[in-house]
Amino acid sequence: MSSPRLSNRVALITGASRGIGAAVAERFAEEGAHVILVARTVGGLEEVDDRVKAKGGTATLVPLDLTDFDKIDQLGQSIFDRFGRLDIVVGNAATLGDLSPVSHFVPKTWDRVFALNVTANYRLIRSMDRLLRGSDAGRAVFVTSGVARHAVAYFGAYAASKAALETMVKMYALEIATSPAKVNLLDPGVVRTKLRAQGFPGEDPMVHPAPEEITERFVELAEPACRYHGEILSA
């Protein structure tokens, strides 16, 4: 059996109570990482924690609404106090919002989409940057979507927020280019998730891969051997 690829790494994963976030958390734990699981749903976090423990892994649960931005700063301080560093950040949490023509979009919903999909990730970068730089091989992976680059009608808020995320993360990558840290964007493609079902309710979800089937690319981008930086990659 091969050695764990994330042995003794500390990994923060947002949106970790279900879907891609939960699958990545379980895979990272299998690969030897201690996973810090962030999501709003306590019950979902506990279920993921049970699966992590069943596989011999360890986790720290953080019930948190990422749009409560000051709590992200508090989380950064708590991680520093406990671990002194952070090796991996996976910015996965996102919301689709409504499917609507841009001209009809409800402002409150538009603002919520950008708050979670863009601003929360900015606050995550702001709070976790020094922790990633404190690692010998800090790695950050932000989950994007093809609609950021290929327009799909009625996905205005989600698509625009992912385009903003991509630009922000590429800027951050340029700014830390001289450090040992690596930051990338990952487009997982079409995956069997609740968000996909919300956007395409008429589809048969079973024709798409399960989240567990696309975790390998996350491991590649999180391990110390990763040499990608500032790129948009596909799972």
139/90 Cα distance (integer angstroms) = 9
Per-residue confidence (pLDDT) for residue 190, from 0 to 100: 73
Give pLDDT < 50 ranges for the chain: none
Q: What's the pLDDT tens digit per position in 184-202?
A: 999 998 776 676 666 667 6
Q: Which residue matches tokens 């994007």?
A: 144
Per-residue confidence (pLDDT) for residue 211, from 0 to 100: 87
The one-letter amino acid code at 216 reads: E
Bridge-based pairing of strands 182-187 and 232-234 is parallel
For residue 183, the cross-strand partners are: 140
Cα within 13 Å of Cα(82), Cβ side: 11
Largest CA distance in the chain: 55
Our measurement of the distance from residue 159's CA atom to the centroid of its chain's CA atoms, rounded to an integer in Å, reads 16
Helix axes of 156-175 and 120-133: crossing angle, nearest 10 degrees: 20
Report the residue count for the chain. 235
Nearest Cα residue to 227 out of 180, 168, 174, 186: 180
Per-residue confidence (pLDDT) for residue 207, from 0 to 100: 66
Catalytic residue selected from 122, 158, 172, 228 = 158
Fold of the domain spanning 10-234: Rossmann fold (3.40.50)
Tokens of 42: 């306590």
Domain boundaries, the chain: 10-234
Per-residue confidence (pLDDT) for residue 198, from 0 to 100: 65
158 in active site: yes
Our measurement of the distance from residue 63's CA atom to the centroid of its chain's CA atoms, rounded to an integer in Å, reads 15
Per-residue confidence (pLDDT) for residue 196, from 0 to 100: 62
According to DSSP, residue 119 is labeled: I
Tokens of 114: 């950008």
Our measurement of the distance from residue 86's CA atom to the centroid of its chain's CA atoms, rounded to an integer in Å, reads 15
Tokens of 79: 């991680």
Per-residue confidence (pLDDT) for residue 58, from 0 to 100: 97
